[in-house]
Amino acid sequence: MLCALSAADLQNAHAAQFDIGSRVVASAEPPVSRPATKPCVVTLFAHEAFDDHGDADSMKARPHRFKFDPPKGCRAGWSKVVLEANFSVPAGRQFDRTAAIWLGGVNLYFGTTIEPEPDVAQHWHVERDLTDYASLFRHAQIGQMILNNWVSPTTNQPIYATVRLAFYPAGRGQPATIAANHVYPLSSDPRGEQTPLENPNQSLSRTFTFPRNVERAYLDVIAQSQSHDERWYTCVDKAYLEKTRDYSLESFEACDGGSYRGVEVLVDGKPAGLAPVYPWIFTGGIAPHLWLPTPGIQTTDFIPARVDLTPFAGLFDDGRPHAIAVRVLGADHFFNVAANLLVYQDPHADVLSGEVTQNTLSAQQPAKLEVRDSLHSDAAGRIVGTIDTDQARSYVIAGHLRTPRGTLETTLRYTDKFSNRQSFARPGAKRYDETIDQVNTTSLDVHRTLDGRPLDSFTVEQRDPLRLTVHKTMLTRGQDFTAEVAVKQGHGIDTRRSDAQGKTYRASLDENLASHVHADGNTIPDPLDRSSFAYDEIGSEQVAFMDSLGSCWRTTIRSRGERLASATQGAGCPGHANQLKPRSRPDHPWLMPLQPRRGG
């Protein structure tokens, strides 16, 4: 076991990370909240080097395996389980890379790495709350980490990782959390591996036979865009590809397949749920200097989308095998996909029965997707205009369970609105101006009743805006150009949860990031090198989290010239200080998970 910091020490350490004037990565995103109890720590890797030699474009990294044993000093119930990882890369030249950690096939972490500078090493810290997955850690098993890093004559630096799990024992005022009884991996490799899906017809699918007393079920999904899909929000339908190609920052970005991507979940081949794909931008994305020193939202630590499959619990309880599958709507080259299924059992009955009573989700997806354009030649014969992609859809899925306590009814209502507006303008013979305004708003409303009486309810609204502005000036032909590039990225969640006694919980998260830089077309696709530093980046990030438990987190950081210029913390919070209560979940897609109540 290793020594671990207290919850207060961890929050203080996060506050002290801001080194004004530094070019090392900085983020305003909050850490995982911690209980006051001292954790037991299990180390998975200690300064592990990922430095395979070979093709820098290869996507088949060598897994680094580890053996996990449960913590000997904390065998009782845990109030929280947290994964902590520290990464570093020496000064030099290296791409941003994909990293993922797996245990028994279950995905524990998924994210991307930071690109180093020629004379600046990078180091960063990530955390993930895995309390819902606590049952996974109760027995010894094999895990592995896949970090797709390649060392070659042109990319010359290894990436190092130290990874551990912190188990916080339950104590006075810190009760053990009711975690999922089973965590099932959807993985193409029994040890765990992200699965590439190249088009909407391919799926990641696994068949399970569940316990006969499933009461709730959730699927956590991560769909990471790669290759031609990496900047999918810049893509257009094939009919517009040649007309708009000259506006792109590189030929790689002139992608077809349209500007919509989404996740669909299927049960036994039938639609069972939808989730948005967040427009993650990696530190090599669009223009690498945009992300010095602050990466895009969630770039180093993807947050999974959670799909509620509780209305299907009665189906899962029939003792027969059932296929759970994920596909990416609109995928046009490939996405890396990982998914975990969390199942909660009724503690009062060994066998339940029930069925799905309503499912209005269309079998044809993406449904109601509309694409319109106003592209035309202006007076000088230059292509200008807009391409608009819109979607508005909703569905209801309901199911009931016959339990010893009565009939448990679950009704789920989902609404999704997606809009991507691409505008193209030619203010001069050598100027190509493009603006992309995108927003995806998702609403979820879940109500449960027991014999017709309200039991609990949950509502959440998530809003993910993105704005990309490019003013491109051609110098000669091909990729010889300069560009003013600006990105605004957001992520907002508002949630409300109520129980049978009328108690309510509210929480909200609001993240906003902006970055602007002057880019050189010759260097946009490459890692950072000595030839491309103008130091004219300007950026800011603001994060606010509040909940009815008393947590308050407000942090603003600003950068200029690719250095951290200022950091403000706690403004507007009580005592002008950030504080996270142990039970709060600022890192979670629902901010506070629906905890299944024993006894219904």
Structure confidence at residue 56 (pLDDT): 65
**CA angle centred on 406, ends 405 and 410, rounded to 5°:** 115
Q: What proportion of the chain, given as a percentage, has pLDDT over 70?
A: 93
Residue 67 has pLDDT above 60, yes or no: yes
Name the phi and psi angles at 232, rounded to 5.
Answer: -60, -25
pLDDT digits (tens, 9 = 90+) for 536-554: 999 999 999 999 999 999 9
Of the candidates 407, 400, 310, 404, the one whose C-alpha atom is nearest the C-alpha of residue 348 is 404
Q: DSSP code of 163? A: E
pLDDT band, residue 55 (cuts 50/70/90): confident
Report how far residue 516's alpha carbon sits from residue 291's, in angstroms, rounded to the nearest whole number.
9
Task: Read off the pLDDT of each residue in 116-127 and give the average, rounded to a whole number.
Answer: 95
The DSSP annotation for 236-302 comes to: --GGGHHHHGGGSSSGGG---S-S--EEEEEETTEEEEEEEPP----TTSS-GGGGSS-PPTTTTSP
Buried b / exposed e over 111-131, threshold 16 CB at 10 Å, is: bbbbbbbeebebebbbbbbbb
Q: Sign of torsion, CA 315 317 319 323?
A: positive
> Which residue bears the tokens 């605004």?
488
Report how far residue 464's alpha carbon sits from residue 490's, in angstroms, rounded to the nearest whole number.
5
**338 compared with 255, residue with greater pLDDT:** 338
Within 10 angstroms of residue 173's Cβ, the number of other Cβ atoms is 10
pLDDT digits (tens, 9 = 90+) for 206-222: 999 999 999 999 999 99
Spatial contact of 456 and 594, defined as CB atoms under 8 Å apart: yes
Residue 6 has pLDDT above 70, yes or no: no
Q: DSSP code of 310? A: G
Structure confidence at residue 126 (pLDDT): 97
Residue 282 has pLDDT above 80, yes or no: yes
Residue 449 has pLDDT above 70, yes or no: yes
- Most confidently modeled of 2-16, 120-134, 184-198? 120-134
pLDDT band, residue 502 (cuts 50/70/90): confident
pLDDT band, residue 405 (cuts 50/70/90): very high
Spatial contact of 136 and 101, defined as CB atoms under 8 Å apart: no
Least confident stretch, 32-46, 168-182, 570-584: 168-182
Residue 174 has pLDDT above 60, yes or no: yes
Q: Tell me the residue type at 509.
A: L
Structure confidence at residue 235 (pLDDT): 94
The token pair at 272 is: 């069972």
The token pair at 134 is: 């606590």
364 burial (CB, 10 Å; 0-12 / 13-18 / 19+) is exposed
| Through-space distance between the first and last CA atoms of the chain, rounded to whole angstroms | 38
Strand, helix or coil for residue 135: helix
Of the candidates 301, 414, 215, the one whose C-alpha atom is nearest the C-alpha of residue 25 is 301
pLDDT band, residue 529 (cuts 50/70/90): confident
